Structure 1
Amino acid sequence: MSVVVFTDLDGTLLDHETYDHGPARPALDRLKRHGIPLVLASSKTAAEIAPLHVQLQLGEAPAIVENGAGLWRPGDAGAGRDAYDRLRAALDTLPEALRIHFRGFGDMGPDQIAQVTGLPTEAAAQAADRAQSEPGLWTGSDQARATFIDALTEHGITARQGGRFLTLSFGGTKADRMAEIARAHGATTTIALGDAPNDTEMLERADHGVIVANPHGAGLPELAGERAGRIRRTALPGPAGWNATMNEILDELDYGDDSHG
């Protein structure tokens, strides 16, 4: 059996408020002992992912960045900003009545990003270093949001709702990248964990999907994979739920380990 694990970060592997992954450490260590690759799948940028990748000691595993709009591998110098610049230019063509309700990271700058995310200023600057996508806060009505997204579709731009931000890009999803990485690794079994709507496709496509409880978000409705038995939900939120359920799945897959307590 060849297993690859894919995980969202904020509200999933990382605590929603503190960004701490400490409670997940036992299961993380267990994956490492068994040589199971852990692929981070996030709306975060390559600049944000790189130091976390080192901190988690993920070796040569790639990472899905900017909500699936790109891939990052250890040692990558980073992508150019052409796609991001085109996206920002498309936003500026929208009617002011729509544009005013979307405040993207490019509108905020590092100081305001730090305020809305709770990140330290240095980390907020990394979040602002975007190449392919634009997260932002939507403050208008649901109807105006639908009109906003329709208008962007004419520019080839898609929108994905995460636990906190509406993220815009020219396409590519976490699920698309998961399939690409799984093929490259010859994976026979995929495990995916997430907490927000932008994780849905990844969760549905995995052999084992885990919806991590996040009391700070709207949550996910029942998914088809739950009815089929492929997707389960954690009882505990964030990294504590991540840890408990990952260990549960590893037990089921016969990766015996009596040290995960």
Structure 2
Amino acid sequence: MRLIVFTDLDGTLLDHGDYSYSAAMPALQALQAQEIPLILASSKTAAEIAPLHAELGLGDWPIIVENGAQRVTPGANMHDRSAYERLRRVLFELPTELRASYRGFGDMTDQEVAEITGLPPEGARLARLRNFTEPGVWSGDEAGLTAFLAALDTRGVAARRGGRFLTLSFGGTKAQQMAGIMVDLGRDTAIALGDAPNDTEMLETADYGVIIRNDHGQGIPALPGETTGTIIRSEAPGPAGWNACVLTLLDRLGYSKRADRHG
């Protein structure tokens, strides 16, 4: 077994309130000791994730960015915005009446993004450094939205509706990126952790999924894997739950015994 771990960030590895991962340190250290790759997978941009990736000492392990639109390797093509620029061109080429009700991050200032997301100014600046996707707000009616999405679809642009934003991209999901990374790194068994509905596909794709308790959002409904034991739920929220479940799975899969033998 060659294990790999994929994790969402906010509300999962990072605490909902202070964004700390300190409660997960025992499990993080266990993964490092066993040389098990930890892959960060988030809706955040590469610019937003890179400082945390470096702080965690994850080396050149890839990052799944912008909700699975792509995977990037730190230092390699981290600032290539060609796909994002192509996406923006598609938007501008639409008839004005179709796109008039859509306002993306590229149409906003850092301050406007800070106000709409609750991010601090620097966080908003990094959130606007997009490489692959365009989150935005739709202010029109449903009929207009249907026409807007249909026009985008004919141009190869997909749209995903979240709680707050309508996000445009040329496709890609966390689960698809997981599969590619496992091939690239020669790994055959995956653990995935997440706390929100947009993590569901990732959790169900992994060999072992962990639903982290979410006390601040809608959370994840019951999944089929919970009846077979391939998906478990944490008792504690955030990094405390992350820590307990990762250590439990490492023990179940025999990694604790390996550590004992090499201690």
What residue number does 2:181 align with? 181
What residue number does 2:229 align with? 229
Distance 1:116 1:11, change over 3 A: farther
Q: Percent identity?
A: 56
Q: 1: distance between equivalents of 2:57 and 2:144? A: 43
Distance 1:116 1:2, change over 3 A: same
Query: Which runs of no fewer than 5 residues in structure 1 stay unpaired?
Result: none
SS of match in other structure, 2:74: coil
Is 1:135 the counterpart of 2:135 in the alignment? yes
Q: 1: distance between equivalents of 2:22 and 2:142? A: 36
* Deviations 1:14-42, CA, capped at 9 Å, x for gaps: 22343222222221111111111100111
Distance 1:77 1:88, change over 3 A: closer
Residue pair 2:98, 2:148 contacting (<8 A) in 1 also: no
What residue number does 1:193 align with? 193
Distance 1:72 1:139, change over 3 A: same
What residue number does 1:202 align with? 202
Quick check: which has more Rg, 1 or 2? Answer: 2
What residue number does 2:36 align with? 36
What residue number does 1:107 align with? 107
* Deviations 1:173-209, CA, capped at 9 Å, x for gaps: 1111100111122212101111223222211110001
Question: Aligned letter for 2:122?
Answer: E
How many Å apart are 1:103 and its aligned residue?
Answer: 4.2
The root-mean-square deviation of aligned C-alpha atoms, in Å, is: 2.6
Distance 1:15 1:83, change over 3 A: same
Q: 1: distance between equivalents of 2:168 and 2:197? A: 14
Residue pair 1:41, 1:63 contacting (<8 A) in 2 also: yes
Distance 1:179 1:126, change over 3 A: same
Query: Which runs of no fewer than 5 residues in structure 2 stay unpaired?
Result: none
1:85-124 equivalence runs, <5 A: 85-92=85-92, 93=94, 100=101, 102-124=102-124
Q: 1: distance between equivalents of 2:210 and 2:174? A: 15
Q: 2: distance between equivalents of 1:5 and 1:146? A: 38
